Structure 1
Amino acid sequence: MNKKPRNYDWDGFTINLYLDDEQDWMAHLVELPNVSAHGDTADEALEELYVAWEMVKEDYQEDGEKIPIAPSRKDYSGCFNVRIDKQVHRALAIEAAQAGISLNALVSTKLASK
């Protein structure tokens, strides 16, 4: 179950909140799983998680490091490199040529349809 309380700012990170096997409420930032907490109630686990997240941010600042940015708040260039098998590269290039489109257009279309 994902829950974002109105009074907490998670800086764009996703919260995973669940009841574990010992019936304790567990909460963590999905993108930063080491930032976690637990409690007897869901609200307590979320409150403890918020305290943990604030402490992590303070530690980053004290160490002169940048606070991690949630993927949902990052700016992306739209460009990345992928290493693939030579035969896959060849097959995609042939498919793109047969379709009369660029390799980038073909791969972009295939990725967008997933």
Structure 2
Amino acid sequence: MAQPHDKYTYRVTWSEDDAEYVGLCAELPSLSWLARTPETALRGIRKLVREVVADLRRHAEPVPAPLATRHFSGKFMVRVPPAVHRQLAIEAAESGVSLNRLVSAALSRST
């Protein structure tokens, strides 16, 4: 049976400051692992996360749920300044779409 740490969101990126690859885990953002190769950085962060999750369990502390297993409703609220809200409402009206559709399309293009 897969453990929660097996389902976590891992990423490896280059760190110019450290001149090495850094392994990261989205669910535990305070952790990182530096290595000379991306493969070693991934192995390192996965091992570190496994150890941290085991330690959290030993001390009966909450273990973060993997993002991959969470349910997302597709709704979230964003607060913007009134002038931005007005400008977006104008753009939506001029485009003949709802404000929601305008913003959703803009967010989809940025990913």
TM-score tier after normalising by the smaller chain length: 0.5 to 0.7
Name which of structure 1's ranges 98-107 and 30-39 shifts more when overlaid on structure 2: 30-39
Name the counterpart of 2:9. 13
Q: Is the 8 A contact 2:11 2:25 kept in 1?
A: yes
Question: What are structure 2's unaligned runs of at least 5 residues?
Answer: none
* Other-structure match for 1:88: 84
Which structure has the larger Rg? 1
With the length of structure 2 as denominator, give the TM-score of the two structures. Answer: 0.64
Relative to its length, the structure with more helix (as a share) is 2
> Shift in Å at residue 54 of structure 1?
1.6
**Residue 74 (str. 1) matches residue 70 (str. 2):** yes
Unpaired runs of at least 5, structure 1: 1-8
Residue in structure 2 matching 1:28, options 23, 28, 39: 23
Q: Which amino acid counterpart does residue 29 of structure 1 have in structure 2?
A: L
RMSD: 3.1
Quote the Cα distance in structure 2 between the aligned partners of 1:17 and 1:75. 27
Kindly provide the amino acid, as one letter, of the partner of residue 11 in structure 1. K
Instruction: Count how many residue pairs are aligned between Structure 1 and Structure 2.
Output: 103
TM-score w.r.t. structure 1 length?
0.63
Higher relative contact order (CA 8 A, sep 6+): 2
Question: Equivalent pairs: percent with the same residue?
Answer: 33
Q: CA deviation at 1:52?
A: 1.9
Match of 1:99 among 75, 95, 106: 95
Asked whether the 8 Å contact 2:8–2:66 carries over to 1, the reply is: yes
